Chain A
């Protein structure tokens, strides 16, 4: 048995699902509290990186009160599945987030995840925190370009070697030696770019479904052979924050967890933090009662739609999708897809574009031709039919040749 096969067998029998252990006992949390406290004391000794804005100041600049911040801190503590006693630690960690350097690279993507945290109606605490993290490099946001940008990235990677969190947005095209996507003045391919950036990272955070599973670029027929970060980067802790776009609250959650504990949060089998992806959307959906009652929106804009009926029949994939958006929603709790009357498209699950996002129940999803394309299906079907006919003719001819010799008849 080759190593690959052994690995896959091992994987087969150790596959985990979305089991969540939400209460690990007092002893565990007491110990964690002490270690978090220690880590925060150490971080306090460090100076803020570069000349980042002070968190407490920027909160006030945005017209928010400290009370809002503390409300946020207790909500985030709950989201991270920590006991309420951790709230002061979480608040302290948030203030210290400018001590952790972050490098953000973009590959095959639409920058939607960056947009998600930039284009909110007004900066909320999650977004402010993402403003004050020490973002050392971000292709879309920085002013530098070309050689200047590359120099900046090289310097950041050198300076914070082994300490920075690498955020990756976008899929990694592997086809044609990675030539489907190049970046920078030297024309470095995305895959090389990712390898180089990941080498010195403390941990890699794949943000959005493209970086996690390949997402839209990897949808059938995947012409660029796109894959997710975890297929490319090996030997580094990887945290996936899928969804399209990833919820900024979950990004903050992961960074906060790292700042607070120095470790990555507990992950499920798809390397997604359990605090965010341990919930099935369906179970916390405000329309769940209509699902059980058999009250469905039959078509867009019908009487059911006006009455907020369940969207299962127009393809809602909430029952198969794990994410916390039915709880925390988007844009600091403003709304979420089902709240605006359209079904979940399963954007935080693998292969969501092909297997979830077709606006019909799974068994009615007859969009894609079974073998991958109309002409391809017709050609292969025709050839198959012709072959079957040829074999049939052959058998018949042979049988006739045999039977023809006994024309006075067989036994019956």
Chain B
């Protein structure tokens, strides 16, 4: 690919990373559509059909769990890439050291001053955006664990199609979400309550939707204001950064 004059191409995302991103986007939309149906079925099945011909809630639950499991697996890959990617290893940017904190403030000021102040390197991921993604991953992990906790409640017999180890492991890994959810919901009742996990799971969905709204807005904003083609990172894999005049010489 030929470089735009005056700009240099910066490789940011490999093909695998971009595929994961769009798989996650589709999974998330599917999870929200089906999740809202599971929470409160918002459309009616055709009454005239006999029950054997429709399987509406079951399909919704099936899709919801399938995309959740896809999300689980991509999360593991993303977690791996966070530390071992050849292109971008963003974990260093969430450590609250002096350099990252000042970069965080600078990027925030850049947004608040509507790009009238830009004193940081925008080639690679900055600590503001990485912190923002960290929040996303934190919410996602919470979502996955509370979801699996509710899931394993339906496997109360302790057996599953892939063996007894699976519900056993789910209990081991997710049971702590019960008291934590109760604490978050502010439950005064004695004992951990599966309904609190539900409330936490449902509320976190809205936090994630809020996150997505800002994420889309901010990436569009960067593309429009910075004019560095940021949106193409997740489509074409790279962005363009203007060569500073002193470097050009």
Whether A362 is near chain B, meaning CB under 8 Å from some CB there, is yes
A15: chain B residues within 8 A (beta carbon): 175-176, 178-179, 192
Of chain A, the residue at the smallest CB distance from B62 is A292
A6: chain B residues within 8 A (beta carbon): none
* Contacting residues of chain B (178-210) with chain A, CB-CB under 8 angstroms: 178-180, 187-196, 198-199, 202
A104: chain B residues within 8 A (beta carbon): none
Contact digits for B49-69, partner A, Cβ 8 Å, 1 yes 0 no: 001101111101000000000
The count of residues in chain B whose C-beta lies closer than 8 Å to any C-beta of chain A is 44
Residue from B156, B178, B190, B198 whose CB has the most chain A CB atoms within 10 Å? B190
Chain A interface size band reads: 35 or more
B179: chain A residues within 8 A (beta carbon): 8, 11-12, 15
Given contacts A20-B156, A228-B190, A293-B51, contact A298 B44 (CB under 8 A): yes
Contact digits for A46-57, partner B, Cβ 8 Å, 1 yes 0 no: 000000000000
Whether B40 is near chain A, meaning CB under 8 Å from some CB there, is yes
B40 touches A361 (CB 8 A): yes
State how many angstroms separate the Cβ of A319 from the closest Cβ of chain B: 8
B192: chain A residues within 8 A (beta carbon): 15, 269-270, 350
State how many angstroms separate the Cβ of B31 from the closest Cβ of chain A: 15
Whether A218 is near chain B, meaning CB under 8 Å from some CB there, is yes
A294 touches B41 (CB 8 A): yes
Of chain B, the residue at the smallest CB distance from A291 is B57
State how many angstroms separate the Cβ of A291 from the closest Cβ of chain B: 6
Whether B99 is near chain A, meaning CB under 8 Å from some CB there, is no
Whether A16 is near chain B, meaning CB under 8 Å from some CB there, is yes
B36: chain A residues within 8 A (beta carbon): 363
A355 touches B193 (CB 8 A): yes
A362 touches B195 (CB 8 A): yes
A350 touches B193 (CB 8 A): yes
Q: Kindly state the separation between the CA atoms of A253 and B178 in the bound complex, as whole angstroms.
A: 28
Given contacts A16-B175, A298-B44, A362-B198, contact A290 B51 (CB under 8 A): yes
* Contacting residues of chain A (381-400) with chain B, CB-CB under 8 angstroms: none
Whether A188 is near chain B, meaning CB under 8 Å from some CB there, is no
A362 touches B39 (CB 8 A): yes
Which of B47, B51, B187 interacts with A303 by CB under 8 Å? B47
Q: Kindly state the separation between the CA atoms of A304 and B45 in the bound complex, as whole angstroms.
A: 11
A292: chain B residues within 8 A (beta carbon): 55-58
Given contacts A292-B58, A363-B202, contact A350 B156 (CB under 8 A): no
Given contacts A313-B40, A412-B116, contact A294 B57 (CB under 8 A): yes
B51 touches A289 (CB 8 A): yes
Whether B152 is near chain A, meaning CB under 8 Å from some CB there, is yes
Which of B44, B157, B194 interacts with A296 by CB under 8 Å? B44
Whether A330 is near chain B, meaning CB under 8 Å from some CB there, is no
Whether A129 is near chain B, meaning CB under 8 Å from some CB there, is no
A320 touches B198 (CB 8 A): yes
Q: Kindly state the separation between the CA atoms of A22 and B158 in the bound complex, as whole angstroms.
A: 9
Of chain A, the residue at the smallest CB distance from B192 is A15
A356: chain B residues within 8 A (beta carbon): 195
B39 touches A213 (CB 8 A): no
Of chain B, the residue at the smallest CB distance from A295 is B45
State how many angstroms separate the Cβ of A55 from the closest Cβ of chain B: 34
A17 touches B51 (CB 8 A): no
Which of B55, B191, B193 interacts with A293 by CB under 8 Å? B55
Of chain A, the residue at the smallest CB distance from B176 is A12
* Contacting residues of chain A (243-288) with chain B, CB-CB under 8 angstroms: 269-271, 278-280, 282-283
Given contacts A17-B175, A280-B154, A322-B156, contact A293 B57 (CB under 8 A): yes
Pick the 9 closest A-B CB pairs, nearest first: A294-B56, A294-B45, A351-B189, A361-B40, A350-B189, A363-B39, A292-B58, A293-B51, A270-B191
17 interchain pairs (CB within 8 A)?
A: A12-B180, A15-B178, A16-B171, A19-B158, A19-B171, A20-B157, A218-B189, A269-B192, A293-B51, A298-B44, A313-B40, A320-B198, A349-B195, A350-B191, A350-B192, A350-B193, A351-B188
Q: Which residues of A contact B (CB under 8 A)?
A: 8, 11-13, 15-22, 212-214, 218, 222, 227-228, 230-231, 269-271, 278-280, 282-283, 289-296, 298, 303-304, 312-313, 317, 319-320, 322, 346, 349-351, 355-356, 360-364, 412
